[in-house]
C-alpha cells in the first residue's frame, strides 16, 4: 500500500486532528514524506484541513483502495488512474488474458459512453466508474439477465448501507427523487465458431457525491449523497458486487420489479418512427418490458427507451 493510502486510512478513521509527527512515527516516514502524501491526497480531490501545531483532519472525500475492494469481494481489481473508459479497459484486459471475473475501476473517464454510444458526464471527483468482466461461455438464450441483476445490486447496496431508497427505470437507469444517479451498460462478446457468448462486460457509472453538475443536467441528474457521505466508495463498490454474485438470480429479478419506476405506469415509446402509448404491465425474467397499448394490443420491448408520461 502506498504512503498516501496509509495516511488516508489513518485520517479517515480519526475523530480529530492527527499531527504530522504522529503520522510520521506510526508509518516510519519523515515529516516531509507526510506533507507530500497530504498534497497527493488533495490532488485526488480530498479536502484536508491543516492547522499548525494540530496537524491534519479529513473534511471530505475518499480514496479508491483496490486492495481493500479485493479483500472484501475476492475479485481481482484493475485500477486505472487515467482511464478513457472502463469498458475499453475491460476489453483490453480480455485481449491480455486477464482473469475473470475482474473489476476495472477508475476515478473518472475521458471518453465515457452510454447506451447508443451517447457521451455522458463524468466529473473528476465524486463518481464511481467501473466495469465487471465475466466469462460465461453460454448460448445467448441461457445468459442471466445481467443488466437487471446489476441494477438491483446497486439499489440494494445503496439501501443496505445508507437506508437511501432508489428506483429503477427500465432498463438500466437508477433514479433518486426523479433524477438519475446511476446508469448501466452491458456488452457481450460472442464466438462465431461456437455460437457462445464468451465474455460479458457490465459497466456502471454512479454519481456518488458529485457537487457540480453542468447546467443542462441539473434538472435531470443527482448524487446518492448531496451532503458528506456516510460511507466510502470502496464500501459501496464491494457491497454491489457481493450482492450481485451471492444473492440468487430469482431474488434479484423480483426486487428489480418491486423497485421499477415504470410498472403499472403509462409510458410512451417509439418503434419504427411511430409513437406508442400504453401501460407497462410486466417485466419478464429476461428483461423484456410488456406494454398494454391503448387499443388493447400488447407490445413486448426487448430494448430501447421508454418515457414516463408523468412523474
Task: Please tell me the distance from the alpha carbon of residue 131 to that of residue 203, in angstroms, as a whole number.
Answer: 4
How many helices (H) and strands (E) are present in the chain, helices listed first? 8, 14
Query: Using alpha carbons only, how large is the chain's radius of gyration in Å?
Result: 22
CB 270 within 8 A of CB 255: no
* Angle, CA 90 vertex, CA 89 and CA 91 arms, to 5°: 95
Q: Are 240 and 101 in contact (CB under 8 A)?
A: no
Q: In what order do the strands lie in the sheet with 266-271?
A: 298-301, 289-293, 274-283, 266-271, 307-308
Complete DSSP assignment for 63-123 = ---HHHHHHHH--EEEE-TTBS-HHHHHHHHHHHT--SSEEEEES-BSS-B-GGG-B----
109 among annotated binding-site residues: yes
217: CB partners within 8 A, 6+ apart? 121
> CA distances (Å), 86 to each of 73, 78, 119, 160, in order?
19, 10, 14, 26
Q: Which residue in 21, 17, 23, 58 sits closest to 41, CA to CA?
A: 58
Cis peptide before 210 (omega within 30 of 0): no
52 labeled binding residue: no
Rounded to whole angstroms, how far apart are CA atoms 51 and 106?
32
Bridge-based pairing of strands 102-106 and 76-79 is parallel
Residue list, annotated binding site for biotin: 109, 180
Residue list, annotated binding site: 109, 180
Amino acid at each position: 500500500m502506498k504512503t498516501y493510502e496509509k495516511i488516508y486510512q489513518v485520517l479517515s478513521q480519526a475523530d480529530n486532528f492527527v499531527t504530522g509527527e504522529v503520522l510520521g512515527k506510526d508509518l516510519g516516514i519523515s515529516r516531509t514524506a507526510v506533507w507530500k502524501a497530504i498534497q497527493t491526497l488533495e490532488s485526488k480531490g480530498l479536502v484536508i484541513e491543516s492547522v499548525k501545531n494540530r496537524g491534519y483532519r479529513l473534511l471530505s472525500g475518499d480514496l479508491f483502495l483496490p486492495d481493500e475492494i479485493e479483500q472484501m469481494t475476492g475479485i481481482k481489481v484493475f485500477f486505472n488512474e487515467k482511464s478513457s473508459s472502463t469498458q475499453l479497459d475491460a476489453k483490453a484486459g480480455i485481449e491480455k488474458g486477464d482473469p475473470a471475473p475482474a473489476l476495472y475501476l477508475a476515478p473518472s473517464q475521458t471518453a465515457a459512453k452510454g447506451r447508443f454510444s451517447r457521451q455522458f458526464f463524468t466529473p473528476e471527483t465524486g463518481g464511481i466508474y467501473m466495469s465487471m468482466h465475466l466469462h460465461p461461455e453460454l448460448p445467448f438464450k441461457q445468459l442471466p439477465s445481467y443488466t437487471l441483476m446489476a441494477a438491483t445490486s446497486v439499489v440494494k447496496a445503496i439501501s443496505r448501507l445508507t437506508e437511501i431508497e432508489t428506483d429503477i427505470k427500465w432498463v438500466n437507469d437508477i433514479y433518486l427523487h426523479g433524477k438519475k444517479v446511476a446508469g448501466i451498460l452491458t456488452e457481450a462478446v460472442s464466438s462465431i465458431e461456437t455460437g457462445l457468448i464468451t465474455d460479458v462486460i457490465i459497466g456502471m457509472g454512479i454519481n456518488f457525491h458529485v457537487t457540480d453538475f453542468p447546467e443542462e443536467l441539473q434538472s435531470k441528474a443527482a448524487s446518492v449523497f448531496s451532503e458528506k457521505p456516510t460511507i466510502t466508495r470502496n464500501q459501496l463498490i464491494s457491497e454491489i458486487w457481493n450482492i450481485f454474485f451471492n444473492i440468487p438470480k430469482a431474488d434479484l429479478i423480483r426486487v428489480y420489479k418491486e423497485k421499477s419506476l415504470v410498472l403499472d405506469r403509462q409510458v410512451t415509446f417509439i418503434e419504427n418512427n411511430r409513437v406508442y402509448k400504453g401501460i407497462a404491465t410486466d417485466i419478464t425474467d429476461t428483461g423484456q418490458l410488456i406494454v398494454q397499448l391503448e387499443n388493447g394490443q400488447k407490445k413486448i420491448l426487448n430494448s430501447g427507451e421508454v418515457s414516463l408520461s408523468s412523474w
